[in-house]
Structure 1
Amino acid sequence: MKKSFVTTSGDKVSLSVTGVKGDIPQVEVSSLMNIIIARNIFLTKGETLASKYGAESTQR
């Protein structure tokens, strides 16, 4: 699953997670993304994630 966010400076960043079940409801994906943003779990180039951009199921 690929989740995309926008940083506080406006840059788009993506996080990919493997081994995710394919039947996760979109509302749960959105909730997870909200938690990631609210708790400042990830930093990229010293920037925090400010908003959601999108999410998609991917297969590798």
Structure 2
Amino acid sequence: MEYRRYIKMLQSHLALLDVGGPALPTRSLSASISLQHLSVSEFPQWLTPHELQISLDTCFPAP
């Protein structure tokens, strides 16, 4: 469940980066880390390299 929460918070963080609402590139980036294709039993234990790179590039304030 922590993985799911982290990804949802990262998507919210991405949406808040754009003034006036998320732009198309931001929405595309958020969609690339979407959890819709995963069932609850498939949530990974660790972030993928893509998710980690987005977190680092956007200075996501994660604990």
Give the structure-2-normalised TM-score.
0.28
Could you say which structure has the higher helix fraction?
2
Could you say which structure has the higher strand fraction?
1
